[in-house]
A and B are shown apart, each in its own frame.
Chain A
Amino acid sequence: MSTRLAKGGRLIDRAKPLNFTFNDKPLRGYAGDTLASALLGAGQVMLGRSFKYHRPRGLVASGVEEPNALVGLGRNARFEPDQRTTTTELFEGAETRSQNHWPSLDFDVGEINDKLYKFFPAGFYYKTFMFPRFAWKHLFEPIVRQSAGLGGVPREADVDRYEQAYAYTDVLVAGGGVAGLAAALREARTGKRVMVLEQTPHWGGRAPVDGGQIDGQAAADWISNAVQTLEGMDNVTLRTRTMLAGLHDHGYAIGYQSVGDATPGDGRPRHRLWRIRAGLTITATGAIERPLAFAGNDVPGVMLAGAVRDYIVNWGVSPGDRTVIVTNNDDAYRTALAVLDAGLTVAAVIDAREHASGPLAQKLRERGVRVLEGRGIAKVHGRKAVTGVAICAQAGEGGVVEQIACDCVAMSGGWSPVVHLWSHCGGKLTWDNTHAMFRPDPDRPPLGDAGQPLARAVGAANGLLTLPEIMAEADLPAVAEPEAPLAPVWVMPAGAKEALKFKSFLDYQNDVKVSDVQLAAREGYESVEHTKRYTTLGMATDQGKLSNINGLAVLSDALGQPIPATGTTTFRPPYTPISFGAIAAEARGEIFQPLRRTPMHAWHESHGVAWEPVGLWRRPYTYPRTGESHRTAVNREITNTRSNVGLLDASTLGKILVKGPDAGRFLDLMYTNMMSTLPVGKCRYGLMCNDNGFLMDDGVVVRLSEDSWLCHTTSGGADRIHGHMEDWLQCEWWDFKVYTANLTEQFAQVAVVGPKARLLLEKLGGMDVSAEALPFMTFAEGTLGGFDARVFRISFSGELSYEIAVPAAQGLAFWQALHDAGAEFGAMPYGTEALHVMRAEKGFIMIGDESDGTVIPQDLGLSWAISKKKADYIGKRAQERSHMTDPDRWQLVGLETLDGLVLPDGVYAVADGYNANGQRHTQGRVTSTYFSPTLGRGIAMGLVKHGPARMGEVLDFPADKGAVIKARIVDPVFYDKEGKKQNV
């Protein structure tokens, strides 16, 4: 059983004990502990159940590669599942909970899956999809749904905050081990801006644990000197607890900083996501040790040799009293020495190599430890904890030659460089036969924006696995115990039979075994990418950090080809999981996205508005009074506007100033109709198409002066239309002398609409708004009620109507003044729904209702607004295509239901016959449909084949539940067909 040693632990502070719980059991650790070291130190070997077979699992590793020891951390609004105990710092009061079991960690019903392993082979899910067909829906899916997912979902909104920050640097060093520090020093001394990120809270990486000397100093001393030097340089930024998650195009790198993880509620952000732009990224990300595949290599107590060493040296934690080392290389002998130095027992070293004769092996023998050569582990004994191992000949099939009792197995299959960052953006790898590993190919680095190398790998990440090699790269002398060559061993024993391979795990987190990969190969999976998806090897949250190379090796062996011929799967960011909170950062709650407010926004809010989102704007939909439904409120607003006077906040309408000697010529190209001939002081309704001929926007254009026009756009369209104008001006007609300015937000605009509109404005006073002085479709500038105003006589409702623009800063005051003065005339605000109904009563189209990107103005009875005289306008050529001039195109009509009810929106009118899919032919569809309080019935507009020629015909509109609604084709202008009311 694991325990805390009486002394040792270079990272912990025994004077600062910390209390925490595991499955509600109170436990104690120390400041400097990770959750993993604290749990292990508290004797907790078994920490969870595996995903598929629910096998008991404990810690395998001590860092980011840990596949098993994930826990639920915190509670309620601070609960988060799947927290990796090896990378989570212990803090006072931490609440941890094991995952993936029911009802308890010790007794888990799901463990039955382990007995049924033969029924859950590779590709289990895919196979359930295939056969028998009924079984997926009724048998497999309910079971899979029940057991899917790792960890529990948080039930409350996250109370922590998260943020992002941008950073720029010449050199970004990923990894604060000795290779990273040496590279950082070297780059910093050239004066470049250097940023060094280290994912753990500590500098130096593995070197302080592994020992050795650098530049005549003990590794730990050299590290602290190097950090001190870097800290003293203005051009260097050092950050611990910051993991470089990904390296992307043009040197864009994502760093993930743990800021307040260990101090919940202290007001600091929990995580900060760094968006870094680096000229060169130095990947000093070290190497990860590989497990060996032998039966029972997942029993709690079987750990990576390096991890066993880490727990002892870093945290003063003994993973077990009696440790068996199993290895194919010399580095694991350092673990044996660390175990001995801690006063614990090494039961034996099982070395798969024929000979173990390096100096490290010698050292161990001198200390009286048995070193078994050419041996492997046939099987690990124990279920919830290791009790012993059965030893066999590595070359054989697993015949047991000896049993050794132990409570910890430290395994090492060699080390693989962490090549993720190098690979994210296209850096290529090369196979290193000596060390049986992929390493960065320096001749094929990822490339930057000028075609230059974007990254350089150093240290163990570059395939240099010994201290002297690593430091030599930085021209520094170093000394460490020499190592004898490794023997590439992936499976133990070499001739393991099925029974053993069924329990030899490659991917701990997804429960993928040697037998699964071999089965995939037998079933014809040759591509490593396909095998990965079929077996789910490497697809868990650890992204195959432990399983990748081992899986490749097993697959290559099964396919009878060398490993480089199989290749690797794609390395994708993030390197380790990052929180959703950090990705969202500030974009949540009120500032999830920009909310555009008119100057009158607060007034609407305080007057009971129901909002309608229009783009990023909020526009009043209606202003329901107490007891009113939205519909009755809308009807009231319409009736009041048509009989008294209504006030609409029209500030969101786009207002683009177009000025210059060529402005008229330019607008003639932008609009389908002629704008250059518009007299100064006059307004004209205009249509804008894209060059593919389709209607994209409409609005009233005003000629302000000889060389300037004001173009109104739809509310959602201002930025888009301004961009559209600038695009044509900058990229096509750059010889035109035209300037534009988007003045949408400079003005608050109010539509004063209804028969009493003029009375209201006359009461405000200051301008002559009579029919004579200000006729329909003209404008005037002046002072209205003391406000600088531009008054347009335009109407979107069919009523006497003025749209008045005032400077936005005075918008609210002007709006208020209109209400004050209008009280005696029954002035009421109205919203967008009333606006829509009134425009539909008048047969006016609405962009986005009658148009949908496939409609041309000619479809909408708007040919009158298309100039026949102009040689060109945007969309003209497109509208000459045969399909655009086809008389069979659906065209705008009004629709009246025979029963007076409201047609559903978007319904189709059916025609005789059926198409190839057995669906009814169609001959039209509804584009806008409303209840008209003015007419007391439903009215609609729609596009119908040959519609204008079929007035009076009745069409069938199938609706829900088999109902068929009958509607008659009528003139789309339902109200005041002669237009008398607006022109008074």
Chain B
Amino acid sequence: MLTLQCPYCGARVEETELAPGGEAHLKRFGPGSSDADFESYMFARKNPKGVHFERWRHAYGCGKWFLAARCTATLEVFGTYPAQTTEPPADLIAKIKEKRPTWEGYK
């Protein structure tokens, strides 16, 4: 069972206080978008063995959604950060690259 630090309230909490929300940094495609873009936004999800970015909500705590960078194979957590961003913070990406030199990078 995972432990993640909520970047909003600062508490390190166990998974039972959290609700998972799937892949992070999805770009919404609304009216006017192509079928392909909409399909990709609505249905296509990454399923990597390794570095992954996810949405979590501190559901039993402060109620905020945050994002986490995690290794799906070892469950190592590289960091958590607020949800109000369209891509992972640069310092986090640098940290992951240092720990996973063969990682192909974000996107």
A contacts B: CB pair < 8 Å: yes
A241 → B minimal CB distance (Å): 24
Do the beta carbons of B1 and A731 come within 8 Å of each other? no
For chain B, residues 65 to 93, give those with C-beta under 8 angstroms from any C-beta of chain A: 65, 71, 74-77, 83-84
Across-interface contacts of A731 in B (CB, < 8 A): 55, 65, 83-84
Do the beta carbons of A871 and B64 come within 8 Å of each other? no
Do the beta carbons of B31 and A880 come within 8 Å of each other? yes
**1/0 contact string of B10-45 vs chain A (CB within 8 Å):** 000010000101000000111111010010001000
Across-interface contacts of A114 in B (CB, < 8 A): none
Q: Does A267 contact B (CB under 8 A)?
A: no
Q: A691-B42, A731-B83 are in contact. Are A252 and B76 (CB under 8 A)?
A: no
Q: Does A963 contact B (CB under 8 A)?
A: no
- Highest count of chain B CB atoms <10 Å: which of A447, A726, A730, A734: A730
Q: Does A732 contact B (CB under 8 A)?
A: yes
Across-interface contacts of A881 in B (CB, < 8 A): 35, 38
Do the beta carbons of A451 and B99 come within 8 Å of each other? yes
Do the beta carbons of A872 and B3 come within 8 Å of each other? no
**In the bound complex, CA of A277 to CA of B17 (Å):** 14
Across-interface contacts of A730 in B (CB, < 8 A): 64-65, 83-84
Q: Does B57 contact A (CB under 8 A)?
A: yes
A165 → B minimal CB distance (Å): 14
Do the beta carbons of B76 and A877 come within 8 Å of each other? no
The total of Cβ contacts below 8 Å across the A-B interface reads 68
Q: Does B63 contact A (CB under 8 A)?
A: yes
Do the beta carbons of B83 and A691 come within 8 Å of each other? no
Q: Whose C-beta in chain A lies nearest to the C-beta of B64?
A: A730
Across-interface contacts of B74 in A (CB, < 8 A): 426, 447, 451
Do the beta carbons of A449 and B75 come within 8 Å of each other? yes
**In the bound complex, CA of A734 to CA of B84 (Å):** 6
Q: A277-B3, A692-B42, A877-B38 are in contact. Are A726 and B65 (CB under 8 A)?
A: yes
**1/0 contact string of A469-502 vs chain B (CB within 8 Å):** 0000000000000000000000000000000000
Across-interface contacts of B75 in A (CB, < 8 A): 249-250, 447, 449
Across-interface contacts of A727 in B (CB, < 8 A): 21, 57, 65
Do the beta carbons of A449 and B3 come within 8 Å of each other? yes
Do the beta carbons of A876 and B31 come within 8 Å of each other? yes
Across-interface contacts of B21 in A (CB, < 8 A): 727
Kindly identify which residue among A252, A426, A449, A878 contacts B42, using a CB–CB cutoff of 8 Å.
A878
Do the beta carbons of B31 and A250 come within 8 Å of each other? no
A188 → B minimal CB distance (Å): 23
**In the bound complex, CA of A877 to CA of B33 (Å):** 8
B42 → A minimal CB distance (Å): 6
B78 → A minimal CB distance (Å): 9
Across-interface contacts of A565 in B (CB, < 8 A): none
Across-interface contacts of A448 in B (CB, < 8 A): 76
Q: A451-B74, A723-B57 are in contact. Are A878 and B38 (CB under 8 A)?
A: yes
Q: Whose C-beta in chain A lies nearest to the C-beta of B1?
A: A252
Do the beta carbons of B42 and A734 come within 8 Å of each other? no
**In the bound complex, CA of A731 to CA of B26 (Å):** 10
Q: A877-B29, A877-B30 are in contact. Are A250 and B2 (CB under 8 A)?
A: yes
How big is chain A's contact interface, by range?
A: 20 to 34
Q: Whose C-beta in chain A lies nearest to the C-beta of B67?
A: A731
Do the beta carbons of B77 and A450 come within 8 Å of each other? yes
Q: A277-B14, A691-B42, A726-B65 are in contact. Are A450 and B30 (CB under 8 A)?
A: no
Across-interface contacts of B65 in A (CB, < 8 A): 726-727, 730-731
Q: Does A4 contact B (CB under 8 A)?
A: no
**1/0 contact string of B40-68 vs chain A (CB within 8 Å):** 00100000000000010101000111000
Q: Chain B interface secondary structure, helix, strand, loop or mixed?
A: loop
Q: Does A248 contact B (CB under 8 A)?
A: yes
Kindly identify which residue among B1, B31, B63, B64 contacts A248, using a CB–CB cutoff of 8 Å.
B1
Kindly identify which residue among B19, B55, B76 contacts A450, using a CB–CB cutoff of 8 Å.
B76
**In the bound complex, CA of A763 to CA of B71 (Å):** 66
- Highest count of chain A CB atoms <10 Å: which of B2, B32, B75, B83: B75
For chain A, residues 691 to 743, give those with C-beta under 8 angstroms from any C-beta of chain B: 691-692, 723, 726-727, 730-732, 734
Kindly identify which residue among B2, B38, B59 contacts A249, using a CB–CB cutoff of 8 Å.
B2
Do the beta carbons of B76 and A449 come within 8 Å of each other? yes
Kindly identify which residue among A250, A251, A734, A872 contacts B83, using a CB–CB cutoff of 8 Å.
A734
B16 → A minimal CB distance (Å): 9
**1/0 contact string of A445-458 vs chain B (CB within 8 Å):** 00111110000000
Do the beta carbons of A726 and B63 come within 8 Å of each other? yes
Q: Whose C-beta in chain A lies nearest to the C-beta of B99?
A: A451
Q: Whose C-beta in chain B lies nearest to the C-beta of A254?
A: B1
Across-interface contacts of A691 in B (CB, < 8 A): 28, 42
Do the beta carbons of B3 and A250 come within 8 Å of each other? yes
Across-interface contacts of A726 in B (CB, < 8 A): 63, 65
Do the beta carbons of B1 and A876 come within 8 Å of each other? no
**In the bound complex, CA of A876 to CA of B42 (Å):** 13
Across-interface contacts of B42 in A (CB, < 8 A): 691-692, 878
**In the bound complex, CA of A730 to CA of B66 (Å):** 9
A184 → B minimal CB distance (Å): 23
For chain A, residues 840 to 883, give those with C-beta under 8 angstroms from any C-beta of chain B: 871-872, 876-878, 880-881
Kindly identify which residue among A252, A426, A871 contacts B31, using a CB–CB cutoff of 8 Å.
A871
**In the bound complex, CA of A450 to CA of B80 (Å):** 12
A656 → B minimal CB distance (Å): 13
Q: Whose C-beta in chain A lies nearest to the C-beta of B5?
A: A449
Q: Whose C-beta in chain B lies nearest to the C-beta of A248?
A: B1
**In the bound complex, CA of A449 to CA of B71 (Å):** 9
Q: Whose C-beta in chain B lies nearest to the C-beta of A729?
A: B65
A291 → B minimal CB distance (Å): 36
Across-interface contacts of A426 in B (CB, < 8 A): 74
Do the beta carbons of A451 and B55 come within 8 Å of each other? no
Do the beta carbons of B30 and A250 come within 8 Å of each other? no
Q: A249-B2, A451-B76, A726-B63 are in contact. Are A732 and B14 (CB under 8 A)?
A: no
Across-interface contacts of B14 in A (CB, < 8 A): 252, 277
B43 → A minimal CB distance (Å): 9
Across-interface contacts of A871 in B (CB, < 8 A): 31
**In the bound complex, CA of A875 to CA of B48 (Å):** 28
Kindly identify which residue among B1, B19, B28, B35 contacts A250, using a CB–CB cutoff of 8 Å.
B1
**In the bound complex, CA of A792 to CA of B14 (Å):** 43
**In the bound complex, CA of A248 to CA of B3 (Å):** 11
Q: Whose C-beta in chain B lies nearest to the C-beta of A722?
A: B63
B88 → A minimal CB distance (Å): 14
**In the bound complex, CA of A252 to CA of B14 (Å):** 9
**In the bound complex, CA of A872 to CA of B29 (Å):** 11
Do the beta carbons of A876 and B76 come within 8 Å of each other? no
A969 → B minimal CB distance (Å): 33
**In the bound complex, CA of A732 to CA of B75 (Å):** 27
Q: Whose C-beta in chain A lies nearest to the C-beta of B27?
A: A732
Across-interface contacts of B28 in A (CB, < 8 A): 691, 732
Q: Whose C-beta in chain A lies nearest to the C-beta of B59?
A: A723
Across-interface contacts of B2 in A (CB, < 8 A): 249-250, 449
Q: Whose C-beta in chain A lies nearest to the C-beta of B76?
A: A451
**In the bound complex, CA of A876 to CA of B76 (Å):** 39
**In the bound complex, CA of A872 to CA of B84 (Å):** 21
Across-interface contacts of B30 in A (CB, < 8 A): 872, 876-877
**In the bound complex, CA of A729 to CA of B29 (Å):** 16
Across-interface contacts of B63 in A (CB, < 8 A): 726
Across-interface contacts of B59 in A (CB, < 8 A): 723
For chain A, residues 871 to 913, give those with C-beta under 8 angstroms from any C-beta of chain B: 871-872, 876-878, 880-881
**In the bound complex, CA of A872 to CA of B14 (Å):** 37
Q: Whose C-beta in chain B lies nearest to the C-beta of A446?
A: B74
**In the bound complex, CA of A727 to CA of B21 (Å):** 9
**In the bound complex, CA of A723 to CA of B19 (Å):** 11
Q: Sorted from nearest, which 5 A-B pairs have the closest CB atoms? A: A451-B76, A734-B84, A252-B1, A250-B3, A730-B65
A-B contact pairs, 19 of them (CB 8 A): A249-B1, A250-B75, A252-B1, A252-B3, A450-B76, A450-B77, A451-B71, A691-B28, A692-B42, A723-B57, A727-B65, A730-B65, A871-B31, A872-B30, A876-B30, A876-B31, A877-B33, A881-B35, A881-B38
A449-B75, A727-B21, A872-B31 given; name 6 further pairs at CB < 8 Å: A250-B75, A426-B74, A447-B75, A730-B65, A730-B84, A731-B55
